């Protein structure tokens, strides 16, 4: 499956092995950097999410300090009651050059790392093939 020239292909990954192919999700491996720290994570590609969302523990692992953040962010939906602030980090996807991703850093760990419209899908094109359990990503 090569639908996007120059794209990298990734498999859908299981979120619950007990449910087999019903629990496959487009989880993208990427490296987040907030110098001097960097960590490898999986991010859920969510075209319906308005913003990128970062769980509390990942921000802390990157060395971010909650009380030092200046920009408050209002989350919506089932996260509407969760405090969040803006956090910009560098992200490396596959072999591509680093990009800056803006996250709503949530004050909870009860949320996956979400890659949404602002600004993951502003930086990358994606093609999903659920029937082959593969997806492709390419910088715009």
pLDDT band at 2 (very low <50, low <70, confident <90, very high): low
Q: CA-to-CA distance for 59 and 56, rounded, in angstroms?
A: 5
* pLDDT of 139 over the 90 cut: yes
Q: Which residues of 122-139 are buried (b: 16+ CB within 10 A; e: fewer)?
A: ebbebeeeeeebbbbbbe
* pLDDT of 95 over the 80 cut: yes
Which of 77 and 114 is assigned the larger pLDDT? 114
The predicted-structure confidence for 105-130, as pLDDT tens digits, reads as follows 999 999 999 999 999 999 999 999 99
* Strands 114-115 and 37-45, bridge-based pairing: parallel
* pLDDT of 4 over the 90 cut: no
* pLDDT of 15 over the 90 cut: no
CATH architecture of 30-123: Beta Barrel (2.40)
pLDDT band at 17 (very low <50, low <70, confident <90, very high): confident
Q: Domain limits of the chain?
A: 30-123
DSSP H helices, 1-140, are 56-61, 120-123
């Amino acid at each position: 499956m090569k639908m996007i020239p120059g794209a990298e292909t990734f498999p859908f990954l299981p979120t619950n092995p007990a449910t087999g192919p019903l629990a496959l999700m487009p989880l993208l491996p990427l490296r987040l950097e907030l110098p001097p720290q960097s960590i490898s994570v999986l991010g859920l590609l969510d075209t319906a999410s308005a913003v990128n969302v970062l769980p509390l523990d990942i921000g802390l692992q990157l060395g971010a300090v909650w009380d030092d953040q200046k920009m408050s962010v209002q989350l919506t939906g089932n996260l509407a009651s969760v405090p969040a602030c803006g956090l910009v980090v560098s992200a490396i996807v596959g072999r591509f050059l680093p990009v800056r991703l803006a996250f709503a850093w949530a004050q909870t760990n009860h949320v996956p790392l979400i890659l949404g419209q602002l600004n993951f899908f502003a930086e990358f094109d994606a093609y999903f093939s659920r029937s082959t359990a593969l997806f492709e990503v390419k910088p715009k």
